[in-house]
Amino acid sequence: MFLRAVVMAASLAATLAGALPAAADTLRTLAESAGIRIGTAANVDALDTDAAYARLLAREFDLLTAENAMKFSVVQPERGRFDFTQADALVEFAEAHAMQVNGHVLVWHQQLPDWLTQGQFSRDELAAILREHIRTLVTRYRGRVASWDVAAEAVDEDGRLRETFWSRGIGPDYLALAFRWTHEADPQAHLRYNDYGGEGGGVKSDGIYDLVAGLRRKGAPIHGVGLQMHASLKDAPRASEVRINMKRLAALGLQTHISEMDVMLSLPASRADLRAQAALYRDMLQACLAVPQCRSFSTWGASDRYSWIPEFFPGRGAALLFDTDLQPKPAYRGIRKVLGASAASARRH
């Protein structure tokens, strides 16, 4: 409650001081008129310690994905002991600012606790552990978390099912089971498969398509696909191929989401690279807006101040819409311009 009061008071003060763009100009108000959600991955520690960051998220986005707060190792650090501290903080912040929450991620081969990966479990024991994890977490936020990344990154670069802790321990049906268990825990939630490297065309994209088509055929309650879109200026899918991929997924009855976009640059970022980055963000947003079944566009972090990139890619960074001083970059202005044009067009029709 205290955090909510502080953030709302600070936001009001900043608005009155004229430090904020008029409400009509923010990404979330333009996106709402354009008919999609604009989101980002939230850093829960920063939400608590950095009021300016919290204000920025509340002002510009209407969809939050839990960057780490809902991952297996955070939520169930010891077998049977659940810790919802971070997840509760994220959901409460989102509810205080009329934002939707995308729960991330129920079945993934990373950020698993040692008790799980080093335990000796039979197939049935491991299935029971996963089922109880999903049931406990999803039930807690029933009606409060609108969508879940049920599974992520289960397809390898060659398009085949990735061999992971879960596929080895439970078998290839672990994915269909995870979707079914999630749906049982919250029948209203929108359930997504989320992956990288298959946003446009290619072997991995075909592998993801085949995986989700197979899940649909088996009757698994899968409703959408998250196209992560972790890119660089030299390694990005063609927007035309992303549109084609979104349309073939739509033909399966699936919605799509650009779920984790960032565009890493070599540091220090040049003005030319920042302009090229803006063009890439703009092209991918336009691809999403061109396909009615593309329902949300999210970046993996709001500000370069809290991005995973520099830790994982030394010498790279500046990947997001706002810089380390929380100031808008050309990419932000590009996104806002595209949303504004789409919103204006939507108003005319």
- Give whichever of 34 and 153 is closer to ligand G3I, judged by the CB atom: 153
Active-site residue, from 60, 67, 153, 199: 153
Minimum Å distance from CB 260 to ligand G3I? Answer: 5
In sequence order, the 6+-apart residues with CB closer than 8 A to the CB of 150 are 105, 106, 107, 178, 179, 182, 191, 192, 193, 222
CA angle 187, 89, 86 (to 5 degrees): 90
Answer yes or no: 260 catalytic. Answer: yes
Residue, CB closest to ligand G3I: 308
Q: Retrieve residue 123's tokens.
A: 């197939």
Annotated active-site residue in 60, 67, 199, 260: 260
DSSP 25: G
The residue (of 105 and 339) whose beta carbon lies closer to ligand G3I is 105
* Count of positions (residues) in the chain: 349
For ligand G3I, give the closer residue by CB, 26 or 182. 182
SS3 132: helix
**CA–CA separation, 191 and 150 (whole Å):** 6
Binding site for ligand G3I (CB under 6 A): 67-68, 105, 110-111, 152, 228, 260, 308
As measured in angstroms, the least distance from the Cβ of 264 to ligand G3I is: 11
Q: How many CB atoms lie within 10 A of CB 228?
A: 22
What is the nearest approach in angstroms of ligand G3I to the Cβ of residue 321? 16
Cα separation, 38 vs 147, in Å, equals 14
Please say which residue, 62 or 67, places its beta carbon nearer to ligand G3I. Answer: 67
Q: Nearest approach, Cβ of 108 to ligand G3I (angstroms)?
A: 7
The catalytic residues are: 153, 260
